[in-house]
Amino acid sequence: MDNQEMAEPLVYRRVLLTVDEDDNTSSERAFRYATTVAHDYDAPLGICSVLESEDINIFDSLTPSKLREKRAHVEAVVAKYVQLAEQKGVQNVQPLVYEGGDVDDVILDRVIPDFKPDLLVTGADTQFPHSKIAGAIGPRLAKKAPISVIVVR
List residues binding its own copies (CB under 8 A): 1-3, 5-11, 23, 28-29, 31-33, 35-36, 39-40, 80, 84, 87-88, 124, 136, 138-140, 142-143, 145-153
**Cβ-based nearer residue to its own copies, 6 or 62:** 6
**Cβ-based nearer residue to its own copies, 35 or 49:** 35
Query: CB of 5 within 8 A of CB of 103?
Result: no
At 68, which amino acid appears?
R
**Cβ-based nearer residue to its own copies, 31 or 115:** 31
β strands within 19-153, DSSP E: 45-52, 93-100, 119-123, 148-152
**Cβ-based nearer residue to its own copies, 56 or 119:** 119
In the complex, least distance from residue 153 CB atom to its own copies, rounded to whole angstroms: 5
In the complex, least distance from residue 23 CB atom to its own copies, rounded to whole angstroms: 4
d(Cα 46, Cα 28) in Å, to the nearest integer? 15
β strands within the chain, DSSP E: 15-18, 45-52, 93-100, 119-123, 148-152
Q: CA torsion 114→116→121→123, rounded to 10°?
A: 20
In the complex, least distance from residue 44 CB atom to its own copies, rounded to whole angstroms: 18
In the complex, least distance from residue 98 CB atom to its own copies, rounded to whole angstroms: 22
